[in-house]
Amino acid sequence: MSSFFRTSLWVVVLGALLALGLYLGDRVKTDPGYVLFAYGGYAVEMSFWVFVIVFVLVTVAFWIVFGLGGALGRFPTNVFRAWARMRHRKADLRLIEGALWLRRDEPSRAFSVLQKDASSESLPALHWLLASEAARRLEKLDESRRYLESAERLMASIPKAIELDMKPTELRPLIKSLKKEWREDWALGLEEVGDEDALSRLAVLNPLARKYTNSLALEIVQARLALLAELDAEAKHHIERATQLDPENPLVLLLHAELECGRTDALESLRRRLIEEAI
C-alpha cells in the first residue's frame, strides 16, 4: 500500500468522522431528546444524548471490571498450564537427547537419559520404546522387557506382526499361487517342491512358459529340469533364452557350468547359497 493511498484513506476517515460529529452536534442542539427513569418515588431525567454517553461509559466499566475479574480468576490455572508446558518441553528435549545418543551408538548415555520417568512427555510410549532398545543394546534384557511392556500398555493398539506369505510346498498349489501373483523367487521353487519327476514338471510348466515368456526364473527351472531328464537340446534352448534375458546373472552362469561339467555337489551348494542371498 503506497503512502499516498494511506494518506488519502486517513483523510477520508477523518472527514467522515468530522461530518458525523457535525451532524450529531447539530442534532444535539436542535433536539436533545428526553429520557425519564422513574421507580417508586424516585425519578431521573436526562437528555437522550447524555443517556447514550452514560450507557457507553457504564458498559465499558462493566467490561473492564468483569474482564479483569475473569483474568484474575483464571490466573492460577494459567500458571499451572504454563508450568506443565515447561515440564513437557523439558521432558521432550530429554526424549530427543536420548534418541540422539541412541542414534550415535552410545546406548549407555541414552539409557541414563531415558530411564527417567516419562509421565511429563508428549510421547511416553516412544520414550519407553527407546529405553527398551537402549537396554537391549546394553544386554540388560530384563529391563528392556519391562520398558517394552510399559510402552505396550501406553499404546492404543499394538501393531500386529506382518504375516509373510508362505510358499506352497506342493507343485500344483505353487503353480496356482504363481498364476494369481507371479514371483520370480517362488518360481525357482518349481524345480523342487512336490514329488513329480522332471518330465512331469516340464509338462505342467508349459502353460506358465507360454504366459510368462520373459521370466528368467522359469527359463532356469526348465533348463535344469531338461538337463535332469537328459533332454540336452531343450536344455540348451532354455539356457540360451536365460542368457538372452540376463547374461550376467550368477544362476545363468551356473547353468553353463552345469551344462559343461554336469551337476555336482559344489555347484548345487553354490546355487542354493545364491538363491538364499537373492531372497
Per-domain residue ranges of the chain: 35-158, 171-278
**pLDDT tens digits for range 193-230:** 888 888 888 888 888 888 888 888 888 888 888 888 88
Span 46-93, pLDDT tens digits: 777 777 778 888 888 877 777 666 666 676 777 777 777 787 787 778
Instruction: Name the pTM for this structure.
Output: 0.43
Residue 50, CA distances (Å) to 47, 55, 63, 186 in order: 5, 8, 20, 94
Taking the domain 35-158, which CATH number applies?
1.25.40.10
Q: What is the mean pLDDT of the chain?
A: 80
Q: Can you read off the three cell numbers belonging to residue 227? A: 538337463
In angstroms, rounded to a whole number, what is the distance separating the alpha carbons of residues 206 and 204?
6
Ramachandran assignment for 143, one of left (phi > 0), alpha (psi -120 to 50 degrees), beta (any other): alpha
Please tell me the predicted confidence (pLDDT) of residue 156: 64
